[in-house]
Chain A
Amino acid sequence: MPDVVEVSERLLRNSLERGLSEVEVYAVRTLMKTLTVADDRVLEGAVREDYDIGVRGVLGRRVGSVSTNVLSLDVGRLVDKLYASARSSPEDPYWSGFPTDVGGLNQVACYDESTAGISEEELAGLLSHVAGKLKEPALARGVDRATIAEGMVASGEVEVFIANSHGVSKSVRCSGAMMWLTLSLKRGGAHSDKTLSYIRRRVDLKEIEAVSIREGERALMFFNSSPIESGKYDVILTPSVAGQILMSVLAPAFSALNILEGRSPLKGRLGDRVLNEKITVVDDPSIEVAVGSRPFDDEGIATRTKNVIEKGVFKTMLHSYYTSRRMGSEPTGNGLRQRPASQPVPSFTNLVVRPGKGSSDSFAEEVKKGLVVYEVIGSWMSDPATGRLKATITHGMLVEGGKPVKPVKGVILGGNVYRLLSESLQGVGGDLEVVDYVATPSLWISSADIAGR
């Protein structure tokens, strides 16, 4: 991306000339094609090419930042704004500079040319093919109506450039594909639905076909669903739900910044057993085609694989360069940022729960009475500072004696995630599934609180 690199380097040079003691530039170029779906047809197509540049500038220990998407910007004016921002900022007593180029690039393949360069026609063809597979099980069983009510499919690439005044200068280009489609079924007067979600660095047609057929079959399970009685239930979380819950309530607690600043229950727990010994959680930036895979973090530090939880013991916290210097630790390559101008904070790349044995199906056969959970909403409202899980089940199946007895919606799953994944954990499945940034198998939890009728 010559324009963005050229502008970024000019910003870096001019900022240093203006008198800033340290400068860092982070630029992103996004190229994406998207098709939106409504009622079985394409509602619209979109082609998007964006640029965003963030600059952080330092005066001693005072740090300020600016960001822009305007390549034709007045560099001098932006640098003045950056200088004023740093000057207005109070000193950060813990500031210890931007990283130097420590080298050791982790070789991670995150680019697939056919995914990045997909044409509009190919994207439309992919959408039709996947929608057909998703509807196949329902149509084979003679429902009255099967439609893709809403959804989208997108494919393209993201290119990142990072440079700082200590010699870091790196860029990487990664491809990406994303799809979510909601299948709506009607049979008699009843309705059911299921959503397919798929995010990868590369479109793997065989994988997406298999996921589509599975979700299409699951869509047939939820006609006439309703809440169940409140009480304690064994709960079997399918991989996508387990992943969603881990990401919202557990993962933020691994951040060294949250630990340092008193908003993680894992503060002071390094080396302690915090989860059941069946649980090992790995931060793995090298999984082929997973969306969190990347050779370096948003500060240019090489990423690496590490066990965060090993057999239930909290082994490694996730560091940005800032937190690693504050705590006298090695950086872990986990400095990620929400916006181009923001300070990188520790976060995971891909979070993997090591698989055990069994699956949601085999757990459901084994449990006397339990609730298998296929979709939830609101899990993001859980509280990682306290470990309290909150999620509302929209797609669940009550099972008794190994048989499905009643589809369930509109009940709340709650509890302390550390208790649920310690003494209440009955099983970790072998059915590992990569869902977004998390790969987990199914989890079987006994005696969880369900609020319903």
Chain B
Amino acid sequence: MLDPDFIDALCSKLNADFIDARVQRHYSELVLLDNGVVRELSSSYINGVGIRVVVGGSVGYSSTNSVERDDVAKAAMRAYKIARAVSEKSISVQLYERPTVRARAVANYSIDPESIDSSEKVELLKDMHREISTVSGIASSVLRFGYERDQRYYISSDGDSVEYEVRMIGVSAALVSHVDGAYESLRDHESKVAGWEFMKSVDWRDWASWRAKLVVESARAPRVEPGRYDVVLDNDMVGLMLHEAFGHATEGDSVLAGGSVLRGRLGQVVAGELVSIVDDGVVEGGAYVPFDDEGTPKKRTYTVRRGVLEGFLHSLVTARALGGEPTGNARVMTYRDPLLVRQTNTYMEPGDWGVEEMIRDMGRGLYVRGRGASGGEVNPLTGAFTFTSGPSYVVEGGEPVRLVKGVMLTGLILETLKRVDAVGKDLVIRTSVFGGCGKSGQTVRVGDGGPHVRVREITIGGG
């Protein structure tokens, strides 16, 4: 069994400044139903240990798929060697010295999905497919059931010993309609940090049917006219916008590297005064990140409060270098990967507008909906971001009057959030077991959301 004493002994033996280890045991299941035929029914086991060695301020990583002490010691030696080899060209890294952490957490669940036979998971998707097949105009349906159990154990030569375990479960659909010669597609998912009880709590046939009808209706809808619009964004779209348009630029490693337009702007106004943005590790509906992969408890962190840039998201390295405090945002995709500063659950705090009130007050514009959105991307250095929406509504006379499709939005980080002039009372945060946020080749589970929000003058295209 690996423990902090073993890591500390390795550290002394190598005469290193610091060593830490990320032990991971990951199990996942996937059922993929392609037009009613099972294309994949798989289980996957990934176990291993990732080692970081800091020596003379230089950092090396290595990993092993064994938890045996000899193999971990060999991995530490490989990490030590590469750290030494690049020391002349390396940044001299120092870690923020925080109190030792010894803790354990388990995300709640009541029915273990691993106790449910695969045939029941297949049958759930087949039921959904049967429902979808009754909707005229559906050309293709790909349904997935996903489940993962992620157990992480962090130990360091400073005596940290932090363990947590999380289960996520959910369903996704990728639908294509073909109506009167026009194709349209829609992707959506529903996931939760939970066990099989979540699958029992949702009417999946109804869920599937609603989306099938929407993609058929979208095929008949016109494409949005490119241009500048006042928009009301729904909860999903707000989450996506905050994550892309702002969240990435607050990640301490990008700030430290000079790769963020927000560098040097702490204390400046970067958004409308109704805007407060939070990054939190444990929230209803979101991903479950009670600790980061440096063992730091994930703090509820304001990056923006009432429009002012208040702080960045930090690892131990960026907190020390940028003069902040660790926020618990150092994360890895798997034990094999190096630490990056990542968001956890990003959301906007609610305001006092009602959704209908906000749309009515806008008069003319777009009501941009997130169901069916495919995601977003940002260039945090240039400051340009972009994201797509699902089928959305043209607003005229203060009412959503007709569906439009093909909406893609873009903006500039330092401009767009300043144009937020109404924030709703409602708050919804969502996560996904099927994907997450990608950065430098690593995808980590995140959540995002917020209330409905109105933004003036946003660029829309993609038609």
List the interface of chain A (C-beta within 8 A of B).
Answer: 33-39, 41-51, 63-73, 78, 81, 84-86, 88-90, 92-94, 119-121, 124, 127-128, 147, 149-150, 152, 182, 184, 191, 193, 222, 225, 227, 230, 261-263, 265, 339, 341-343, 375, 377-378, 380-381, 383, 385-388, 390, 392, 394-395, 409-415, 449-453
**Shortest Cβ distance from B226 into A: residue:** A451
**Is the C-beta of B43 less than 8 angstroms from some C-beta in chain A?**
yes
Q: How far is the CA of A261 from the CA of B88 in the complex (A)?
A: 55
Across the interface, do A39 and B256 meet the contact criterion of CB distance under 8 Å? yes
Determine how close the nearest CB of chain B comes to the CB of A34; give it in whole angstroms: 8
Stretch at the interface among B7-15, B345-353, B372-380: B372-380
Q: How far is the CA of A385 from the CA of B142 in the complex (A)?
A: 13
Across the interface, do B459 and A227 meet the contact criterion of CB distance under 8 Å? yes
Say which residue of B58, B60, B117 sits within 8 Å of A88 (CB atoms).
B117
Chain B, range 356-412, C-beta contacts under 8 Å to A: 374-379, 381-388, 406, 408, 410-412
List the interface of chain B (C-beta within 8 A of A).
Answer: 34-35, 37-48, 52, 58-66, 78-79, 81-83, 85-86, 88-91, 93, 117-119, 122, 126, 139-140, 142, 176, 178, 183-185, 226-228, 253-254, 256-259, 336, 338, 374-379, 381-388, 406, 408, 410-412, 440, 459-463
Task: State whether A67 and B42 are in contact (beta carbons under 8 Å apart), knowing that A47-B78, A88-B122, A386-B183 are contacts in the complex.
Answer: yes
Given A39-B257, A411-B410, 13 new contacts (CB under 8 A): A42-B90, A66-B44, A89-B118, A92-B38, A124-B85, A149-B259, A230-B227, A339-B42, A341-B40, A377-B384, A378-B388, A381-B386, A453-B459
Q: How far is the CA of A73 from the CA of B40 in the complex (A)?
A: 22
Say which residue of B42, B338, B374 sits within 8 Å of A36 (CB atoms).
B338
Q: Name, among B52, B184, B386, the residue most crowded by chain A CB atoms within 10 Å (CB to CB).
A: B386
**Mostly helix, strand, loop or mixed at chain B's interface?**
strand
Across the interface, do B258 and A184 meet the contact criterion of CB distance under 8 Å? yes
Q: How far is the CA of A443 from the CA of B256 in the complex (A)?
A: 38
Across the interface, do B43 and A81 meet the contact criterion of CB distance under 8 Å? yes
Q: Which 5 A-B pairs have the closest CB atoms?
A: A451-B461, A412-B461, A451-B226, A392-B386, A120-B85
B residues near A152, Cβ cutoff 8 Å:
440
Task: State whether A410 and B336 are in contact (beta carbons under 8 Å apart), knowing that A63-B41, A150-B257 are contacts in the complex.
Answer: no
Q: How far is the CA of A184 from the CA of B338 in the complex (A)?
A: 24
Determine how close the nearest CB of chain B comes to the CB of A420; give it in whole angstroms: 12
Across the interface, do B41 and A45 meet the contact criterion of CB distance under 8 Å? no
B residues near A88, Cβ cutoff 8 Å:
41, 117-119, 122
A residues near B375, Cβ cutoff 8 Å:
380-381
Enumerate 24 A-B pairs (CB-CB under 8 Å) in ascending A order. A42-B90, A43-B253, A46-B62, A48-B62, A48-B63, A69-B47, A85-B41, A85-B43, A89-B41, A92-B38, A124-B85, A230-B228, A262-B140, A263-B176, A341-B42, A341-B43, A377-B378, A378-B386, A380-B375, A381-B374, A381-B376, A385-B176, A412-B459, A414-B461
A residues near B336, Cβ cutoff 8 Å:
48, 50
Determine how close the nearest CB of chain A comes to the CB of B95; give it in whole angstroms: 13
Say which residue of B35, B89, B93, B140 sits within 8 Å of A128 (CB atoms).
B89
Across the interface, do B89 and A410 meet the contact criterion of CB distance under 8 Å? no
Q: How far is the CA of A386 from the CA of B64 in the complex (A)?
A: 43
A residues near B411, Cβ cutoff 8 Å:
410
A residues near B35, Cβ cutoff 8 Å:
261-262
Across the interface, do B122 and A90 meet the contact criterion of CB distance under 8 Å? yes
Determine how close the nearest CB of chain B comes to the CB of A452; give it in whole angstroms: 6
B residues near A147, Cβ cutoff 8 Å:
258
Q: How far is the CA of A268 from the CA of B201 in the complex (A)?
A: 42
Task: State whether A390 and B408 are in contact (beta carbons under 8 Å apart), knowing that A68-B45, A414-B462 are contacts in the complex.
Answer: yes
B residues near A127, Cβ cutoff 8 Å:
89
A residues near B338, Cβ cutoff 8 Å:
34, 36, 44, 46
